[in-house]
Copies of this chain bind each other. A is one copy, B any other.
């Protein structure tokens, strides 16, 4: 592999770094404490897809002993539907199938995932646009189930504002890089973003390194116009858009990024399979670079719109 990987290796060279804040004391309650969770995804379409049939969203479709429900042992993917067709459907299907195996859920054939995405997209959007979220889990008898929920893409600004949630990303743990339903920390970070009225919340790990956003992978234009992104070893999801830009832009460097570097970046770019590349032009209320979309965000947008 000829991709440059340099910079401070995570887990070493941290001697000068302050210790992580005590997040567990009675006074440390930055996100929680009786506030109402804010809804990320409206279910305005009011349907779901369960093992081949469409059901009203109000109808129960998941068992009480479902693995995603009871222990967060589920994996999911969110596909963008454009003119009735799912972008990167083969990649979505391959990743979901592989993740199901890695989580010990059992076999999930890629073709079953493709069929599911197509059926739900067709029912929900016809030849139109939208988003389909498919999740796999298994019940207490070991049967793998696939459940889909469609939603509208919704309006968002072309340029994002973000906050830095200075709280520990929980890392990948044993589920390295997988897109798992066990994602409470990401959900709470998403709450914080919505409460702050911004589009994204970025998370650091306990050592102060950037990991990812609550719903995107992050790239940063650091010194000398080098585009860098945190390595997956720090715990980020191996997002499809991240994988695609790494494949298509060989000069991207994977290395650890500190909060200081993030704040002084020329550009910060969020990528995911739903939105492509979005410049984060404001972080914690302060402009990033000159406060406008930069050259790299335009380049990555083009790269992700190429197919």
Contact = CB atoms under 8 A, between A and B. Distances in A.
Interface in A7-59: 9-12, 14-15, 19-20, 22-25, 28, 30-39, 41-43, 48, 50, 55, 57-59
B73 A187 contact: yes
B70 A72 contact: no
Contacts of A291: none
A11 B21 CA distance: 9
A156 to B, nearest CB: 19
A240 to B, nearest CB: 17
A206 B11 contact: yes
A64 B62 contact: yes
Contacts of A165: 174
B171 A170 contact: yes
Interface string A181-192: 111111111010
Interface of A: 9-12, 14-15, 19-20, 22-25, 28, 30-39, 41-43, 48, 50, 55, 57-74, 76, 101-106, 133, 135, 137-138, 140-142, 147-149, 165, 167-177, 180-189, 191, 206, 231-233, 235
